[in-house]
Amino acid sequence: MLQSVNLRDYMLVNPVKVKPDDNVLDAMKVIIDNKISGVCVVDNEGNLVGILSELDCLRAGLGATYNESGIGLVRDHMTGDNLLVAHPDENILDVAQDMLVKKHRRRPVVENGRLIGQITCRQLLAAVKKFS
């Protein structure tokens, strides 16, 4: 039987999220507590507005220490422009290849502007194992 290659069958359907107005320290706690490398940033309607990575948080923390200022809000440190997203009906092999080329560890899955999931390296590894 042919295995599905539809991204919808492998994506994480309830990715960890934060809001743009959350404090970066709170977002850091979410990342640490969930043992993940980054979070999706969504507005009140569930629309994807950015991604906040561990490196973004580290940069924010070091900058606040160096400048002796507050660490700030997620919106000030997230990546919000030119976000690469996937559609749930895309081919998982195509998405995986593109993630490798672009060296991304995660890709939000968006349908009609709303975040409905996320595909990460971990889900991709599980899919490869399943295909084997």
Q: Domain of 94: which CATH number?
A: 3.10.580.10
Domain count, the chain: 1
Residue 81 has a pLDDT of: 92
Instruction: Determine, yes or no, domain membership for 102.
Output: yes
Q: What angle do CA 51, 26, 69 make, to 5 degrees?
A: 95
Task: Give the Cα separation of 34 and 123 in Å (integer).
Answer: 16
Domain that holds residue 34: 7-131
Those residues with Cβ within 8 angstroms of residue 36's Cβ, 6 or more apart along the chain or in another chain: 16
Instruction: Determine, yes or no, domain membership for 90.
Output: yes
As averages over each run of 10 residues, the pLDDT of the chain (132 residues) reads 78 95 97 94 96 95 78 94 95 94 93 94 87 73
Instruction: Determine, yes or no, domain membership for 1.
Output: no
Instruction: Determine, yes or no, domain membership for 2.
Output: no
Residue 1 has a pLDDT of: 38
- How many CB atoms are located within 10 Å of the residue 95 CB? 22
Instruction: Determine, yes or no, domain membership for 125.
Output: yes
Return the HEC string of the chain: CCCCCEHHHCCECCCCEECCCCEHHHHHHHHHHHCCCEEEEECCCCEEEEEEEHHHHHHHHHHHHHHCCCCCEHHHCCECCCCCCECCCCEHHHHHHHHHHHCCCEEEEEECCEEEEEEEHHHHHHHHHHHC
